[in-house]
A and B are shown apart, each in its own frame.
Chain A
Amino acid sequence: MEMTFLRRALSAIFIVTVALVLTIQVIAPTRSKAVDHDRAAFDDAVEATFEQVVEEIVEGKVTEEAKAEAEKKDVMPGGQTCFMRHYRSARTRARADINDRATLALLTFAPGSAEVEAAALELVERSEGELRWRTALALAQARLVNGNIAGMEDALLIASETDGIAPNCRADEVFLRAMALPGDDRLPLLMQAVELDPAHWSAHGQIAVAIASARPGRDGKCAEDIAQYLRSIVYLRELTGSATEIQMLATFIGSLPQGARRSLYAGMLLETAGDPAGAQTAYRRTAQELVTGDDPCAAELRLAATRLLDNVGDRR
């Protein structure tokens, strides 16, 4: 009697386990299809006109795209390299000798050390694939910290010529290259970075900083810039999750120059934070600041503020 009960219980557990595994295998492909679909929607959106982008944001489509990125199970948006941002998909369990990994860590702990740099160069020479790519990237980063821009470019060239790297990792190369440039000049590269990896939180943050601080802005690029500004703000607010990311976001908003662009940004965040009245005030202030200010992209900003104000409370 007891044996029968035990047998049944064990069989039941076994069947449930098998069923779970099967379910996961059925669900997984569906998920990735949904992601492909979002990706296609994103690509289309790049082509869209400014008005369409604003409408998509007002209707919450961009929010859904960003949510899909944020909800991927292995995403850690603030992670600096793709290995951390997408730790399951971007990296195939790269293994390395403990001394090689010590060299990699020391490159970031002590970027000024000539001995570590020499060890890293030697490691690049004798390694391949992910280890070689990651070492070259860490070397580029250390050189950027030290202000050695030419050296950084050399290291990035090695990284970009390394095969077998996930496509969204290339965003890290582009991002570093962008960070070596001043202000507005970063924008084209940063936009390329978020196209390669929409979950690149830092790139979205830098885009927002660059566009919010742009004076007088890039000639004839108002529609492109403000559209990207709005998209990046949506991505930032959806991707921000951890305490650290929230703190960094708060600090950086505090440092933006006063003006219409900052008010627009504040409105979009207040709306997410569940403060529709505050958001309306911020959007109205945006419109007022455009009247008194001399923003070259006033037309685009006004359109965005008006449409967002009309629809406060309709989204999400």
Chain B
Amino acid sequence: MTVPVLHDREDGFGTLDVAANALAVLVLVLVVTGLAIMEVTRPGEVPGVEAPNVPAAVLELATAPPSRDTYVLFDDAAIRLNLETIAAQIVETSELAGDFVQGTFELRPAVNHYVYRDLTDASLFVTPKPPTAGDSDSWPLATADDLAALSAEIQSRWDSGARRPVFVVYEAAADAFSTLFWDADAAGIPLLWQVSRPNDPIRFLLGPDVVRQRLATWK
């Protein structure tokens, strides 16, 4: 049996081998880097909601601490997302995705350690569903009185905790949101809001994205 010995076959092949090996290493590095970049730029995940938890201190410069109060407005009802429920469930079951009383959730810590910056980097996807009557953290939006009740709730939360409310608005709730918006405006409560479509997950972000540009996409 003969063993092929490439570098003996012709003068100068040794040089070629070194160069080729170096190229192979380069190609490998480029491929790995490319994969790493793909990890951070997963396309098509809208809408982005800037984390309601960007550490309070960062945003406290001028306004109230960012909100933990995220309201989702359906056509005839509103809910306030209860992220604490999700958190408790994840800790209890060690399952990062699942159903909860307000819909479904999925927590995705950034897993590629060549990409994430902070150990907290993660996205939380919540797909809310319309509430059934009697759910906690939910309000009907059918009548003017209903809207006034929700406005009063927002006002009282604002007065006690100074948290800036965030609204995720579906098209059917545009009129209701208009009323809530002007009520809050008259009361001097700053809102953040984003239009979305039913069944699109709401994405809460922690990570460099938030610091770089996310906040600027909000109205």
Give A contacts to B, CB under 8 Å: 6-7, 10-11, 13-14, 17-18, 76, 78-81, 83-84, 87, 91, 93-96, 98-99, 101-116, 118-119, 130-131, 134, 138, 141, 144-145, 175-176, 179, 202, 205-206, 209, 242-245, 247-249, 251-255
Contact = CB atoms under 8 A, between A and B. Distances in A.
A176 B215 contact: no
Contacts of B110: 101
Contacts of B120: 101, 104-105, 107-108, 134, 138
Interface stretch (B20-28, B71-79, B147-155, B177-185): B20-28
Interface residues of B, number: 57
A243 B216 contact: yes
A106 B118 contact: no
A93 B115 CA distance: 10
A244 B212 contact: yes
11 contacts: A13-B22, A78-B58, A79-B211, A91-B117, A102-B109, A106-B91, A110-B83, A145-B56, A202-B57, A244-B210, A248-B59
Contacts, number: 188
A101 B118 CA distance: 10
A107 B63 CA distance: 22
Across chains A and B, which 3 residue pairs bring their CB atoms closest together, nearest first? A105-B122, A252-B61, A110-B87
B185 to A, nearest CB: 17
Interface of B: 12, 15-16, 18-20, 22-23, 26, 51-63, 65, 68, 83-84, 86-88, 90-92, 94, 96, 107, 109-111, 113-114, 117-122, 124, 204, 206, 208, 210-216
Nearest to B20: A10
Nearest to B213: A243
Nearest to A116: B87
B207 to A, nearest CB: 8
Given A78-B212, A113-B84, 20 more contacts: A10-B19, A11-B15, A13-B19, A18-B22, A76-B117, A80-B55, A80-B211, A84-B211, A94-B119, A101-B119, A102-B109, A105-B206, A109-B52, A110-B87, A118-B91, A243-B212, A243-B216, A244-B213, A248-B59, A252-B62
Nearest to B214: A244
B96 A102 contact: yes
B21 to A, nearest CB: 9
A14 B122 contact: no
A99 B58 contact: no
B206 A131 contact: no
Contacts of B26: 17
B15 A206 contact: no
A105 B57 contact: no
B90 A175 contact: no
A118 B109 CA distance: 19
A206 B210 contact: no
B117 A115 contact: no
Q: Name the residue among A13, A95, A113, A243 with the largest chain B CB count within 10 angstroms.
A: A113
A112 B51 CA distance: 15
Given A145-B56, A179-B57, A109 B12 contact: no
Contact of B87 (A14, A113, A255): A113
Contact of B54 (A11, A14, A17, A80): A80
A76 B208 contact: yes
Contacts of B22: 13-14, 17-18
Contact of A105 (B61, B88, B114, B124): B124
Contacts of B124: 105, 109
Contact of A87 (B61, B117, B206, B214): B117
Q: Name the residue among A96, A103, A106 with the largest chain B CB count within 10 angstroms.
A: A106
B61 A102 contact: no
B84 to A, nearest CB: 4
Given A78-B58, A130-B119, A134-B119, A116 B109 contact: no
Nearest to A249: B61
Nearest to A112: B84
Given A93-B113, A110-B83, A145 B15 contact: no
A248 B87 CA distance: 29
B119 A104 contact: yes
Contacts of A134: 118-120
Contact of A101 (B62, B92, B122): B122
Contact of B58 (A80, A95, A106, A242): A80
A242 B62 contact: no
Q: Name the residue among A83, A96, A244 with the largest chain B CB count within 10 angstroms.
A: A244
Given A106-B107, A243-B213, A10 B23 contact: yes
B53 A108 contact: yes
A111 B23 contact: no
Q: Name the residue among A79, A105, A175, A253 with the largest chain B CB count within 10 angstroms.
A: A105
